[in-house]
Amino acid sequence: MAPQTRRMTFPNVVIERDTDSEPSSSDEEEEEEEVEEEEEKVVENKNEERMEEPLEAKKKGKTPITISLKKVCKVCKKVGHEAGFKGATYIDCPMKPCFLCKMPGHTTMACPHRVATEHGVIPAPRRNTRNPLEYVFERQFRPGVLRIKPAFVIPDEVTCAVIRYHSRRITCLEFHPTSNNVLLSGDKKGQVGVWDFGKVHEKMVYGHIHSCIVNNMRFNPTNDDSVYAASSDGTISCTDLETGISLSLMNLNPDGWQGPSSWRMLYGMDINSEKSLVLVADNFGFLYMVDTRSNNKIGEAILIHKKGSKVVGLHCNPVQPELLLSCGNDHFARIWDLRRMEAGSSLYDLAHKRVVNSAYFSPLSGSKILTTSQDNRLRIWDSIFGDLDSPSREIVHSHDFNRHLTPFKAEWDPKDPSESLVVIGRYISENYNGAALHPIDFIDISTGQLVAEVMDPNITTITPVNKLHPRDDVLASGSSRSLFIWRPKKSELVEQKVERKIVICDRAEKKQSRKYGNKSDDSDDDKFTSKGKKLKSNKPEWKLTRCSGKVKR
């Protein structure tokens, strides 16, 4: 029989069979299985390039097989090691820099940042050591911010409601400004979902507003029922959530598709309520302003980032809305004064090593800056009045770029009076009782400490989109096409007033049989597909999962 080669991903496997001894069974499938077994043996048997069929196999009367193979790493293509999942644990390629901190010389498993997120982080100073002028400014600017940080209130257990009505991955989330149980979600296809998670079945999906990625949404500050959205189709929409009627404020591609070099996409967006402006930025580095009263574009587009680079984030300072923060693919976050907007006139340029996925002023005082960069670092500037040449702190955290994932963005907890609690999804998985899970991390940005990891053993996908509720103890997450609402189990919040690290994962055993879980199990997930293929009318379109917690000190 001719030599067989198997799977392209398993290179250099050559099986030679002696021609004078026919197999006892000629069944192709059985042969295949035998070969599989032999491969396993060889792989386990150290690293030999060529080896003979073990003697016992010959004794058993099996066909003598000679196998030549090498252990080849799928990452660096070198022999002698293999990268990839071993059960629920990912083994790094030792030839590559650490997947977490990006430094050479160690793997993710041995990375000091993996063991302790605060590794190498210098905590924020307790006393104000800046000069008197800055102090006066700061007192005016941040009246409500507590000097002494209260302990975080983190539950031991949470419940998680899951719903799936998006047909493409979720790209952005927004809580309704006044209706506590309403969550808006945008997806890659351009659909906008409105979910009343207080009433299970109350959901609405608007599919006609945009034709591709919804990159950012903001509620109209003067009308709770209308929401603005910026999309890669090059338009800004304003949608009335009651009627579903949507109007387009601006269209950057009036002549339709003329090729990728001219197609403009809108990414960053924010609203300046003082000036009644919608600010948007495109994939070529330009900022546009639209008056929300007349729906007219104001002035010409202004180049605010490197020409031809994507501007992914815009944020107006919550206290001083004339201050604008932008960030983008040119590796910079920039601070601007809206009263003097012209190319090159930024007040500060905050340098990063890679693309900056998000840059936000702190939600209460507006005096801190938090950025998420694709170099796996969160950067914090403690005061916009202080030294902005370098960040006050860099926290190594796994939130790499992957083209198939919505970019990760660290989000402030708008309820934290000390402006130090931040939520962000984690890219790399951890082996939790045999399941590879990607938790949602709560990080104290004043120390770099991981305060809590939130996870559900049923949720095996990465959760890059997260938003904390402005008033309630609610976390909304977008993971692939699913939406989650996490809430603490009632009765627990009062008891737990200590700062601690919590792991919510004690049901992970359930997934032990699974190699590593990206595919849905026998759960109800499939019933929620947009195509409605497996949708059964008598089944609810959501599920509540209880996750009991375990405290790790």
Partner DNA sequence: AGACAATGACTCC
Partner DNA sequence: TGGAGTCCCTTGTC
Residue 124 or 160 with smaller CB distance to DNA: 160
417 by Cβ neighbours in 10 Å (0-12 / 13-18 / 19+) ranks as middle
Smallest distance from DNA to CB 66, Å: 22
Q: Which helix (H) or strand (E) holds 190?
A: none
96 binds DNA (CB under 7 A): yes
Span interacting with DNA, options 153-161, 333-341, 499-507, 524-532, rule CB under 7 A:
524-532
223 binds DNA (CB under 7 A): no
Q: Outline where 254-400 has alpha helix (H).
A: none
Record the tokens describing residue 128, joined without a space. 């104000």
105 binds DNA (CB under 7 A): no
The one-letter amino acid at 42: V
Q: Hey, what's the torsion of the CAs at 270, 170, 212, 214, to 10 degrees?
A: -10
Maximum pairwise Cα distance, the chain: 93
Chain positions 476 to 505 lying near DNA, rule: CB under 7 A, are 479-482
374 binds DNA (CB under 7 A): yes
454 binds DNA (CB under 7 A): no
Residue 293 or 403 with smaller CB distance to DNA: 403
Chain positions 57 to 76 lying near DNA, rule: CB under 7 A, are 74-76
Partners of 246 in beta bridges: 239
436 binds DNA (CB under 7 A): yes
Task: Identify the residue among 17, 53, 72, 90 touching DNA (CB under 7 A).
Answer: 90
Task: Identify the residue among 63, 386, 401, 541 touching DNA (CB under 7 A).
Answer: 401
Smallest distance from DNA to CB 532, Å: 11
For 445-526, list the strands marked E by DSSP.
449-454, 465-468, 475-479, 482-488, 501-503
- Distance, in Å, from the CA atom of 361 to the CA atom of 315, rounded to the nearest integer, reads 7
Task: Identify the residue among 404, 491, 538, 553 touching DNA (CB under 7 A).
Answer: 404
Residue 90 or 381 with smaller CB distance to DNA: 90
Task: Identify the residue among 215, 317, 365, 460 touching DNA (CB under 7 A).
Answer: 460
Q: Which of 321, 324, 320 is nearest to 304 (CA)?
A: 324
Task: Identify the residue among 237, 376, 461, 466 touching DNA (CB under 7 A).
Answer: 461
531 binds DNA (CB under 7 A): yes
- Distance, in Å, from the CA atom of 174 to the CA atom of 524, rounded to the nearest integer, reads 26
528 binds DNA (CB under 7 A): no
Span interacting with DNA, options 128-136, 215-223, 296-304, 305-313, rule CB under 7 A:
305-313
Residue 92 or 233 with smaller CB distance to DNA: 92
Spell out, one character per residue from 116 to 145, where the chain touches DNA: x when CB under 7 A holds, - when not: ------------------------------
Task: Identify the residue among 2, 8, 55, 115 touching DNA (CB under 7 A).
Answer: 8
Record the tokens describing residue 125, joined without a space. 């100073």
Give the three-class secondary structure for 334: strand
Task: Identify the residue among 113, 188, 368, 507 touching DNA (CB under 7 A).
Answer: 188
Smallest distance from DNA to CB 402, Å: 5
Residue 348 or 401 with smaller CB distance to DNA: 401
438 binds DNA (CB under 7 A): yes
- Distance, in Å, from the CA atom of 212 to the CA atom of 487, rounded to the nearest integer, reads 31
- Residue 244 · residue 206 · CB < 8 Å: yes
What's the chain's Rg over C-alpha atoms? Answer: 27
- Distance, in Å, from the CA atom of 69 to the CA atom of 49, rounded to the nearest integer, reads 5
Chain positions 245 to 274 lying near DNA, rule: CB under 7 A, are 261
Judged by CB under 7 A, the number of residues near DNA is 48
Smallest distance from DNA to CB 183, Å: 18
Task: Identify the residue among 206, 361, 427, 486 touching DNA (CB under 7 A).
Answer: 427
529 binds DNA (CB under 7 A): yes
Give the three-class secondary structure for 213: coil
CA 259 to centroid of chain Cα atoms: 30
- Distance, in Å, from the CA atom of 466 to the CA atom of 489, rounded to the nearest integer, reads 19
**C-alpha distances in angstroms, 401 versus 109, 112, 353, 389, 425?**
20, 21, 13, 25, 12
- Distance, in Å, from the CA atom of 106 to the CA atom of 327, rounded to the nearest integer, reads 31
Give the three-class secondary structure for 320: coil
Q: Which residues bind DNA (CB under 7 A)?
A: 7-9, 74-76, 83-84, 90, 92-93, 96, 99-100, 108, 188, 261, 307-308, 310, 329, 331, 354-355, 374, 401-405, 427-429, 436, 438, 460-462, 479-482, 518-520, 526, 529, 531
